[in-house]
A and B are shown apart, each in its own frame.
Chain A
Amino acid sequence: MIKIENVHKAYGAADSRNEVLKGISLDIEEGDFVVILGTSGSGKSTLLNVISGLESADKGKVCYDTKDLSVMNEDDLTKFRKEYIGYIFQQYFLLPNLSVDKNVKMGADLAGNKNYREIIKAIGLDGKEKKYPHELSGGEQQRVSVARALAKKPKVLYLDEPTGALDEETGRLVLDYICKLKRDLGFTMVMVTHNQNIADMANTVISMNSGKIVKTWHNERPKTAYEIAW
């Protein structure tokens, strides 16, 4: 479904040029659960941005089915994201002026999803709908960002450290719920994480180091959120 071929990405001008992605190739099947591991600064977030069409690659190709992202303009990309992509950011990026309910609604409205409140409940934010982001703890904000992306019913969900601010219990709860929705809706998932244990839940695990994929492996029998170690 998603095909990435020899993607390069660098930041900065000539002398301070910083090559972040150095020729990444990857195939992701529909319904796959891919986990990307790697040290801090190895280019995981950048890779996620490039595959999801938030940033363009300097070189190489990113294709969804028959769509080639590298030839799309900003308007086409926006339309593409509306149709395909859900994104959970490392830094949450909630809308500060709107309540939790409205923040999730931002995703829900794009998919005409009327049952988005169920998602808020399921990830343990029941009773917090009327709160504003600055009144929430880091973990609660992170869950709002998860709910917002899920409410959009994406075809592909990108998660950048979705459990980074969560304790073990809520972390498992959120992962379990995401996987349940994944089974129900059948979306594809690409997750960046520092937690090696979460890799046991994936079909495919990719290990990155300074802009390159150093290792790829598949799990025969992926574990559930309650089976993995934490």
Chain B
Amino acid sequence: MIVSFKDIFKMTGILIVSFCAVFVCALFLNFYLDVLGIEDMITTETGKIFYEAQCNTAKMVSALSGGCLLLTTVVLLCFYVGHYIDTHKKQLGILKALGYSRIAIAKDFSVFGFVVLAGTGLGYFCAHLLMPYFYKVQNKEKYLPQFEVAYHPGLCMALVVFPAVFFALLAVGYSFHRLKLPALSLIREKTVQRVVKAKKESDLPFLTELKKGNVRQRKSLVFFITFAVFCFSSMMQMSGSMDELGSRMMGIMTMSIGVVLACVTLFIATTSVMKANEKTITMMRVFGYDAKDCTKAVLGGYRPWAYLGFALGSVYQYVLLKFAVRVIFADMEGIPDYQFDFPAMCITLIVFVLLYEAVQFVYTRNMAKVSVKEIMLE
């Protein structure tokens, strides 16, 4: 086996994200299915409206967070598989040269599906643990008749097994695509990553040049970071409004997903940038650039993108909630037209800035600890 289980441990990011996705979706979709079953038993007018709203929010929340998380998992997985191939090019090239076919090598990458399976299974299980309580909270005004948690095998298939199979196939397909290079060029390729040159020479200070060079080098990370902050910003801000529109529970859930997502992606992105720049950082330190300069040059280039993600997230959640209030809750009384929640944005922004700067700070601190020779020998 080329891809070992040890490699899988490095993919905790995917595990966490798929856990969150399935947890939320299972909770709301199971609720939705159970509510569907009691539609005929609802007699009161308020009950009917409440029922409609519940169905719609369940759909919206699972579509929104499920979608966000699904996209993140796809990106993460491609990132991991790509990274794995990049760092193991030589071995893979030798296998190819020995006569293993592309598909024979690629099919080993299906183990990545197990990680997803672990995440989704765990998420589904935990969702079921929480369900009795969740049902109680959702129906605390007793608009709906009493109903119990039911087990839906179809849902289990769709949320646990299907994603695992899908991601296993995705991993195989993606690695198959990446392995199309001839064996020799895989073996010979010395640099782990190819160099993306500047379009035109500029005459800026070295640190600025390095910053620009880094962003140029790893464009996928730009997307990654922007997306993470986008999710964080929209979900955090939305969670405030959820309190008024839906339930407190939904608010807390959206918020935790936002935070988890942001932390996981930010952590993975930052680690990979730092890892890729280890040699550069060492050389800078040898020459006498201090740790702060190094982090600034290596990570600083992504800051504008992170803030762009934040702004986009704010706009997105505003549009989405405006739409939700106009369409989904149109018949519900007592729900005011949605206004942009400025304080919520400020709080989210503060939390974001603190989180982002804390990550930078931690990395600067840790870098100061690594001795120069240590990295030089690697």
Please give the residue numbers on chain A whose beta carbons come within 8 Å of chain B beta carbons, in ascending order. 49, 54-55, 74-75, 78-83, 85, 87, 93, 95-99, 101-102, 105-110, 129-130, 132, 134, 152
Contacts and interface: CB of A to CB of B under 8 A. Distances in A.
Interface in B184-210: 190-191, 195-198, 201, 205-207, 209-210
Contacts of B213: 97-98, 102
A95 B195 contact: no
B147 interface: no
Contact of A81 (B195, B287, B373): B287
B286 interface: yes
Nearest to A97: B213
Interface string B198-242: 100100011101100110110000000000000000000000000
Contacts of B214: 97
B44 interface: no
14 contacts: A54-B373, A55-B371, A74-B371, A78-B290, A82-B289, A85-B288, A93-B283, A102-B210, A106-B206, A106-B284, A109-B205, A109-B207, A110-B289, A134-B191
A126 to B, nearest CB: 15
Label chain A's interface by main secondary structure. Answer: helix
Name which of B201, B280, B283 has the most chain A CB atoms within 10 A of its CB.
B283
Contacts of B198: 99
Name which of A78, A109, A152 has the most chain B CB atoms within 10 A of its CB.
A78
A105 B289 CA distance: 13
Contact of B288 (A83, A97, A129): A83
Nearest to A91: B376
A96 to B, nearest CB: 6
Contact of A93 (B205, B279, B291): B279
B368 interface: yes
Interface string B269-303: 00000000001101111111111000000000000
B206 A102 contact: yes
B369 interface: yes
Nearest to A56: B371
A55 B371 CA distance: 8
A129 B197 CA distance: 13
A85 B373 CA distance: 16
Contacts of A81: 285-288
B11 interface: no
Name which of B216, B282, B368, B372 has the most chain A CB atoms within 10 A of its CB.
B372
A95 B290 CA distance: 17
A96 B281 CA distance: 12
A217 to B, nearest CB: 31
B372 A132 contact: no
Given A95-B280, A97-B195, A97-B213, A79 B206 contact: no
Nearest to A152: B287
A133 to B, nearest CB: 8
A97 B290 CA distance: 20
Given A74-B368, A74-B369, A109-B207, A101 B201 contact: yes
Contacts of B216: 97
B283 A107 contact: no
